[in-house]
A and B are shown apart, each in its own frame.
Chain A
Amino acid sequence: MADPILEVQDIHCGYDGVPVIHGISLEVTPGELVAIVGANGAGKTTTMKTIAGLMHPFSGSIHFEGRDISRMKAHETIRLGVSYVPEGRRLFSKLTIQENLELGAFTKNDRREIGQSLEQVFELFPKLYDRRTQVAETMSGGEQQMVAIARGLMSSPRLLLLDELSLGLMPSLVEKVMEAVISINRTGVTVLLVEQMVQEALEIADRGYVIQTGKIVQQGTARELLDSPEVRKAYMGM
């Protein structure tokens, strides 16, 4: 197997000194699409925030492309190629789509490069091109999610972290968004995805991790997890 692009080793982290993640380890190899699934409050977002650098582990380490990023801040990790699309979209509500996207490319200084990234995301989401002068807060939930993904791509990341894309979307839109994730992954971007919609996530993923109260309780290929009776019973109501 190739060297992992992301290697999380036994991290413990939490809020105000109270741990909510109790020793999580995971690995993602270049080009993979990996899903982390689990119930509300399992610690999925906390894990993602810690990888992105919005918070730091109490112990354990995180390596990206062989480099220790455990102590780096979010505005530093994105310069290395880690982009996090946060839970709840978190668009800059009073700014236009175009301005939101430009901020996604804040790490780039070359106008031409920014133009190319814009073209790429407009190709992925043609609808956004027509809406580029619209203020973010006036868009529908589905459109906002597309902007959030597009904004996350503007820095041309090598690792894209996607948190709960399905939140608040109707099933047909969830499918569309998942398709977009597949096509992003096909362009060579490694994807680590967090979802409560376990089935939908595992259907597009190569591998998956199941997390429960801050620990990984199961892992394997997406197929294995989809077929696992425990997973089916706990998360798919079957």
Chain B
Amino acid sequence: MATFLQVAFDGLLNGLLYALVAAGLSLIWGVMDVINFAHGEFLMIAMYFSYWLGFIWKIDPIISSVAGGAFVFIVGALTYRLVIRRTIGKSAMSALLATFGLSMLIKNICLNRFSPNFRLLQDTLLGGKTFNLAGIIIPVPQLVIGLVALALLFVVYRLVKKTRLGWAIQATAMDKEAAELMGINTERIYLLVFGLGGACVGIAGGLLPSYLAVHPEVGALFSLIAFVCVAMGGFGSIPGALLASLLIGLVEAFAGFYIAPVFKYVAVFGLYLVVVMVRPRGLFGW
């Protein structure tokens, strides 16, 4: 029983991390109908950013995560300005291919500059710390990321649903022209949304190097899982993405533990296939 709970808890914590990555992707999709293929690479950028800050200046990932959020906000906004903006109004394929190209570019720059080595930060505030709660061993870095993810998801959700800016974001998503007529500068909303999507992964990526190694391929898996979470949850739905992410975290953990580690992604993508076959628009899809 204790093992079961332990595995479940590990799965849920991982699921929360996926949810934060997926939330950014979902927000961008929901507002702009753009799938950002480079989303995982944004996460990787934040991880390298945090890693080098920690390695060179001994800055702790907790602090780097805030800087990472700001940094990737800018990366996201620039991506919109320089790449995505040119694809708006063209076929959906062009944004997909453009961000795919961008992901390749970022990955190969990192490969070229930083080599394919796996890099893990040592001696961080949280790194390696655990505590015992009723027989379950709780890893502190994972717990912190999970809590940060929950808090951020709540903030983003409230922002979109309850504030004037959020209504303007929703209005832009529903009818861009009508939104312009209200005095909403939709260009700026797009920029902001891309920045926000980036900031979500930026904060997550900033925290990660205390327990997850950085390498040029680390973004690819996250991109894929985040995409699955968003599609499974229903495109554009943040609660849907959260639910799907938790499910995927659990399935991944159980399949990895009770069947075999190599089997966990088979289970994850199997679940994805089943869900989209039964509900093609996802769990919360409209």
* Chain A interface residues toward B at CB < 8 A: 52-54, 73-75, 78-79, 83-84, 86, 90-95, 99, 102-104, 106-107, 151, 155
* Chain B interface residues toward A at CB < 8 A: 164, 167-168, 170-171, 174-175, 177-186
Write out the residue numbers on chain A whose beta carbons fall within 8 Å of the beta carbon of B175: 90, 92
In the complex, the answer to whether B181 meets A92 with C-beta atoms within 8 Å is no
Write out the residue numbers on chain B whose beta carbons fall within 8 Å of the beta carbon of A83: 181
Bound Cα distance from A106 to B184, whole angstroms = 7
In the complex, the answer to whether B168 meets A54 with C-beta atoms within 8 Å is no
Write out the residue numbers on chain A whose beta carbons fall within 8 Å of the beta carbon of B184: 75, 103, 106
Given A94-B170, A95-B171, A75–B180 Cβ distance below 8 Å?
Answer: yes
Give the contacting residue for A106; candidates B168, B170, B174, B177; CB below 8 A. B168
Given A75-B185, A155-B183, A103–B177 Cβ distance below 8 Å?
Answer: no
In the complex, the answer to whether A74 meets B170 with C-beta atoms within 8 Å is no
Write out the residue numbers on chain B whose beta carbons fall within 8 Å of the beta carbon of A86: 177-178, 181
Bound Cα distance from A104 to B171, whole angstroms = 11
In the complex, the answer to whether A95 meets B170 with C-beta atoms within 8 Å is yes
In the complex, the answer to whether A106 meets B164 with C-beta atoms within 8 Å is yes
Given contact pairs A103-B168, A103-B184, a sample of 15 additional A-B residue pairs in the complex whose CB atoms are under 8 Å apart: A54-B177, A54-B181, A73-B185, A74-B177, A74-B181, A84-B181, A86-B178, A86-B181, A90-B178, A90-B181, A92-B171, A92-B178, A95-B171, A99-B167, A106-B184
25 contacts between A and B (CB under 8 A): A52-B181, A54-B177, A54-B180, A54-B181, A73-B180, A74-B181, A75-B181, A75-B183, A75-B185, A78-B181, A78-B182, A78-B183, A79-B183, A86-B177, A92-B171, A92-B175, A93-B174, A94-B174, A95-B167, A102-B167, A103-B164, A106-B164, A106-B183, A107-B183, A151-B182
Bound Cα distance from A54 to B168, whole angstroms = 18
Write out the residue numbers on chain A whose beta carbons fall within 8 Å of the beta carbon of B164: 102-103, 106
Write out the residue numbers on chain B whose beta carbons fall within 8 Å of the beta carbon of A73: 180, 185
Write out the residue numbers on chain A whose beta carbons fall within 8 Å of the beta carbon of B183: 75, 78-79, 106-107, 155
Write out the residue numbers on chain A whose beta carbons fall within 8 Å of the beta carbon of B168: 103, 106
Write out the residue numbers on chain A whose beta carbons fall within 8 Å of the beta carbon of B186: 75
Name the residue on B nearest A108 (C-beta).
Answer: B183
Most chain B CB inside 10 Å of its own CB: which residue of A53, A54, A74? A74
Name the residue on B nearest A155 (C-beta).
Answer: B183
Write out the residue numbers on chain B whose beta carbons fall within 8 Å of the beta carbon of A92: 167, 170-171, 174-175, 178-179
Name the residue on B nearest A161 (C-beta).
Answer: B181
CB distance from A56 to the nearest CB of B (A): 13
In the complex, the answer to whether B182 meets A106 with C-beta atoms within 8 Å is yes
Name the residue on B nearest A148 (C-beta).
Answer: B178
Write out the residue numbers on chain A whose beta carbons fall within 8 Å of the beta carbon of B174: 92-95
Bound Cα distance from A86 to B180, whole angstroms = 11
CB distance from A87 to the nearest CB of B (A): 11
Bound Cα distance from A83 to B181, whole angstroms = 7
CB distance from A53 to the nearest CB of B (A): 8
Name the residue on A nearest B171 (C-beta).
Answer: A92
Bound Cα distance from A189 to B164, whole angstroms = 26
Write out the residue numbers on chain B whose beta carbons fall within 8 Å of the beta carbon of A151: 182
Bound Cα distance from A94 to B236, whole angstroms = 13
In the complex, the answer to whether B180 meets A74 with C-beta atoms within 8 Å is yes
CB distance from A237 to the nearest CB of B (A): 34
Write out the residue numbers on chain B whose beta carbons fall within 8 Å of the beta carbon of A78: 181-183
Give the contacting residue for A90; candidates B167, B177, B185; CB below 8 A. B177
Give the contacting residue for B167; candidates A52, A91, A103; CB below 8 A. A103
Bound Cα distance from A94 to B167, whole angstroms = 10
Write out the residue numbers on chain A whose beta carbons fall within 8 Å of the beta carbon of B171: 92, 95, 103
